[in-house]
Chains A and B, each alone.
Chain A
Amino acid sequence: MRVWLNDKPLTLVTGMKIRDAVNQAGLLDEIEKGSKVFDEWGNEVGLDGVVENGCHYALKKNN
């Protein structure tokens, strides 16, 4: 399936999680620093949440 993280397209297997998307985008360090992931409707999503085909996510620094 195809998803986007910070506008970067990623290909993941059905059942993979937000954590896998962040990992594939090489941004796990940002998570360690406290960043959070949001869906295209502005909702925070947990790292163990499943990625959904066609969705856009954004990693944002914790304010």
Chain B
Amino acid sequence: MKNWLLTFILHGLFCVMAVQSACAAEPVQLRILYLNDFHGYAEPYPSSGHPEKLGGAAFLADEIQRQRENHSTLLLAAGDLIQGNPWANLFEGKSTIEWMNALDFSAMTLGNHEFDFGVDVLNQRVRQARFPVLAANVRGLPSIQPYVIKELSGLKVAIVGLVTEDTPVTTHPKNVKGLTFSPVADAAQKIITELNNRADLIIVLSHLGFAGDIQLAKTVKGIHVIVGGHSHTRVEKPMKVDETLIVQAWEHAKALGILDLTIQERKVIQYDGRLAFIEPEKGKPDPVTLEIIDRYQKKAADILNEVIGEAQVDLKGKTSRSGETNLGNLVADILRQKTGSDLALINGGGIRADILKGPIRMNDILSVLPFTNHPVVLKVSGNELKDIFEYGIADLDGTAGRFPQVSGIKITYQAAHPIGQRITRMTIAEAPVKPEGWYTLVTNDFLAAGGDGYVTLKNILDTMDSKASGSTQDNRVLLFDSGRPIRDIVIDFIKEKKNVSANVEDRIKKED
């Protein structure tokens, strides 16, 4: 009996070894499907240069199911999935993860925007996910894994996650408190050494940007494939850098990436890659995804229609292009208060609607602030403030949208004076602005980049360039919170205060 059992076990072992050996020796085919930078875009939409609608999570899901048929397949996501569009944001990414669970994703790496709701929410999303969430270069988050090994068709496939080292300077500091982001090349090299030939194929699931992926491929040897994100790059054919293939599938579910590999003895001996563009007019929606989208859209409609507070007076915003408005003052006040800045500046053209006295709904705020601008706090000199506001009041008929809506500063001017010499007095906290003094100014990313012609703000970034390079932020940018739109800050303020009111206070006053 014992001999029979031993023979049986040895025979079984021999068979397993034979299969494994055959797998190592014979070519094995694997299909990788991939998605990046979804940002909660559940619905198809027309984008710049593409007037036809593209994308849609239900149409993408149907394409995924089609591409899976008769193939050994991995489905990967390269970061920035849970934040962006209200369909995701209103549920702090829960809707996106539910959809990804339904599609049976194989793995996902963290993107920088996965941190935008804070670590607690991120941990909830990781617990919700029925797939591994990866990031090998982040320490302090026990819920995530550096890598995972998947077994398919006898192949051991290692999937390593990497997220941009710039994450701490592109989200609010509180969102990454206690976390460490180490250099990506070091983290990747460490894992590859650790794997020590335990994997037949090594895939890096990266959220570094396309140029970052190229750099990684040049620096770290042994990576077979980099599936990337972050730069929203439409890579129609895989790029080969040395022995590493680099792919990325554009953005917002407008394309599904498909990479077919033939692997033999831990080498990719053949590959073919392409993007399948998601064209709703030609496709059909996946019913399971459609149900998820509709359910969350209904919930979203209810949330957007909820009363979040009460306007004690009519809040006028439509005339913000040509003069001070009480709604402009309110938004600027909120921004200044929430960032602890000396003063706030927003462009009048960014305020698009009025709010009438009475209940305020979230939808009202989306109408007032339709753009997804986010706050930027800059260190600005008194001389620069003079230039900024001279420019701001140079267009008093208000066609260009640059009229400054402000908080924390009072300005008087003479309209009859030549452009550039109109300001007669500026005070901050009742004290005259000192030309050589330094002040903290909160504005939005649009103006900080020189939007509406605010060249002085753009020049502040230029002055940094001589000293700063790469990912190091100079200390003139005190906050760059790309994860929280200004409208969300305003919504939270109104929810907190319940009753809001504002007046026109001659913050920018014309002298007689």
Contacts and interface: CB of A to CB of B under 8 A. Distances in A.
17 contacts: A1-B468, A12-B461, A13-B477, A15-B480, A21-B449, A24-B451, A26-B450, A36-B49, A39-B210, A39-B233, A43-B210, A43-B233, A47-B48, A48-B232, A50-B230, A52-B211, A53-B211
Contact of A53 (B239, B453, B461, B470): B470
Interface of A: 1-2, 11-16, 18, 20-21, 23-24, 26, 28, 31-32, 34-36, 39, 41, 43-50, 52-55, 62
In the A-B complex, the 10 residue pairs with the smallest Cβ-Cβ separation, listed nearest first, are A49-B232, A15-B170, A46-B232, A36-B49, A20-B449, A52-B211, A46-B251, A11-B465, A44-B234, A49-B231
Contacts, number: 122
Contacts of A53: 211, 469-471
Nearest to A28: B451
Interface centre among B51, B235, B449, B469 (most CB of A within 10 A): B449
Given A14-B169, A41-B210, A1 B469 contact: yes
B390 interface: no
B226 interface: no
Interface of B: 37, 39, 47-49, 51, 84, 112, 164, 166, 169-170, 209-212, 230-236, 239, 250-252, 376, 445-446, 448-451, 453, 458, 461-462, 464-465, 468-473, 477, 480, 482
Contact of A24 (B37, B47, B449): B449
A32 B46 CA distance: 12
B211 A54 contact: yes
Nearest to A36: B49
A44 B445 CA distance: 23
Contacts of A16: 445, 449
B235 A43 contact: yes
A23 B450 contact: yes
Contacts of B209: 49-50, 52
Contact of B169 (A15, A23, A28): A15
B233 A49 contact: yes
Nearest to B451: A23
A55 B230 CA distance: 14
Contacts of A62: 49
Contacts of A11: 458, 461-462, 464-465
A54 to B, nearest CB: 7
Contacts of A12: 449, 461
A52 B209 CA distance: 7
Chain A residues touching B, majority SS? loop
A49 B278 CA distance: 19
Best-surrounded residue of B48, B84, B461, B480 (most CB of chain A within 10 A): B48
Contacts of B445: 16, 20
Contacts of B448: 13
A29 B212 CA distance: 29
A14 B48 contact: no
A14 B450 contact: no
B482 A1 contact: no
A2 B472 CA distance: 12
B418 to A, nearest CB: 24
Given A1-B469, A20-B449, A46-B37, A15 B231 contact: no
Contact of B51 (A26, A34, A41): A34
Contacts of B230: 49-50
Contact of B212 (A36, A48, A52): A52
Contacts of A50: 164, 209, 230-232
A43 B252 CA distance: 16
Nearest to B372: A48
Given A24-B449, A46-B252, A35 B49 contact: yes
B207 to A, nearest CB: 10
Contact of A13 (B51, B234, B250, B461): B461
A39 B166 contact: no
A1 B232 contact: no
A55 B469 contact: no
Contacts of A31: 48-49
A35 B458 CA distance: 23
Nearest to B237: A43
Contacts of B446: 20, 23
Given A1-B470, A14-B166, A15-B166, A52 B231 contact: yes
A17 B445 CA distance: 10
A23 B350 CA distance: 14
Given A11-B465, A23-B451, A49 B251 contact: yes
B469 A2 contact: yes
Nearest to B482: A15
Contacts of B235: 43
Contacts of A36: 48-49
B213 to A, nearest CB: 10
Contacts of A28: 451
